[in-house]
Amino acid sequence: MQEHRYAIIGAGPSGLAAARALQKAGIAFDGYEASRGVGGLWDIENPRSTMYESAHLISSRTTTQFAEFPMDGAPDYPSHRVLIEYFRDYAARFGLDARFRFDTKVTRLERTDDGGWMLHADGAVAQRYAGVILANGTLAEPNIPVFPGEFTGELLHTSAYKRATQLTGKRVLIIGAGNSGCDIAVDAVHHAASVDMSVRRGYYFVPRYLFGRPSDTLNQGKPLPARLKQLVDTRVLRAFTGDPVRFGFPKPDYRIYESHPIVNTLILNHLGQGDLRIRPDVDRFDGTTVHFRDGSSGEYDTVLLATGYTLDYPFVDRAELNWTSWSPELFLNVFPPSFNGLYVMGMIEASGIGWQGRYEQAELIAEYLAALERDPARAEELRRRVADDPWPDLTGGYRYLGLERMSYYVNKDAYRAAVRSAVASLREAPGPAVRDAAPRRRAKARA
């Protein structure tokens, strides 16, 4: 009989969470990491890292940290330098480093005739596993939109942005105002000759602190119904940050939390000081001129695309992950419906899900693998439910925008409840937990 040994691809927060959960469940595994060590994109020296020098945690440490390894004594919003040390300490504390092969990039996964997976990696590694956990990150492959015309200045994606001095003396246009775009704009105003920001839609800006506390630590516990939370938080934001339309942003054509909120109010300060300007959506490039949709134009040395990332699992056929349009369609964003022995970690975007939310995904995988070995009927019951029953609604009642980056977005409370329910159903005698989840296969995104 083949040994039930599993592989984990990636030693970022998700891969470490998977390693820890499998370790606790007594499941044998080997980890593979393309970079020199643990920490994923929080290691700015990792060639695939999209971190920049000024980056800090956007969510606060208490809502983000692993529950069994609190970041005691750290600031509320630590910098990436503090965070990489945190992950190194986490791996050292639980002896996880020794379980990974570093500087070893996985290049290919192929099914074996006996239902396992052959993993090919750098250095002519070829090893058979019963299953593979994919934790290779979601924020590494740049999403580069195509614009009409040609820009002859410097065209960069945020993935290539490391420090503000890259922009010294330049006339900079940042396209997109997500969290990275806003962080970089705030950096750029101190170095660039001028900074403009082109936006397609309005945004909601959440301050880091509300009532003297990290804003994401308020209203924890029992979540408010979506519409009530939208109403309350819109009012609170209006009172604290004012109306972004006053600073030149378009009025959002959606409600708060229907897209990822921007945790940055410095951007509004700089707009108020006249340090940067908001421009409309880009119409076309022409040499170093950028024409905007309202007929205006500007001259730029550097265009910085803050246009996000695209999911990428280049080492495995797309059909194996049940790709639909922008993203794989997976039960709880983890299990391909075919239950083919691949498990995806970290393919979640959510406000406030943190690394503990990723760890809970890992616990679910570990619980399923343990059931496969020790109580196959329970694993079979989960597979039956996934095939026959409606999938849980992970939106929490929010109507997410129909955008690529929102295609695997979840509401943290709805998601964690659904994961807990699936874990409970694997631990206990098959019960109604998963079946009772809201009747929706996948929440419809808004067009």
Binding site residues, ligand FAD, CB under 6 A: 9-15, 32-35, 40-42, 46, 48, 50-51, 55, 57-59, 64, 105-106, 135-137, 139-140, 180, 315, 346, 354
CA atoms of 74 and 371, how far apart (whole Å)? 38
Q: How far is the CB of 216 from ligand FAD (least distance, A)?
A: 9
Instruction: Please name the residue that has the structure tokens 């740049």.
Output: 142
| Cβ closest to ligand FAD, residue 42 vs residue 66 | 42
Given the complex with ligand FAD, which of 9 and 290 has the nearer CB atom?
9
Closer to ligand FAD by Cβ: residue 153 or 181 = 181
Pseudo-torsion of CA 392, 222, 74, 347, nearest 10°? 10
106 or 268: whose CB is closer to ligand FAD? Answer: 106
Shortest Å distance, C-beta 297 to ligand FAD: 31
Q: Which is nearer to ligand FAD, 175 or 184 (CB)?
A: 184
At 330, phi and psi to the nearest 5? -125, 145
CA distance 404 to 308: 9
Task: Show the tokens assigned to 173.
Answer: 């246009």
Task: State how far the Cα of 28 lies from the Cα of 23, in Å rounded to an integer.
Answer: 7
When the beta carbons of 36 and 227 are compared against ligand FAD, the nearer one is 36
- Please check whether residue 293 is in contact with residue 282, taking contact to mean a CB–CB distance below 8 angstroms: yes
List the beta bridge partners of residue 119. 109, 127
Residues in the chain: 447
**Secondary structure of residue 11 in the 3-state scheme:** coil
Sheet holding 131-134, edge to edge: 100-101, 28-32, 5-9, 131-134, 342-344
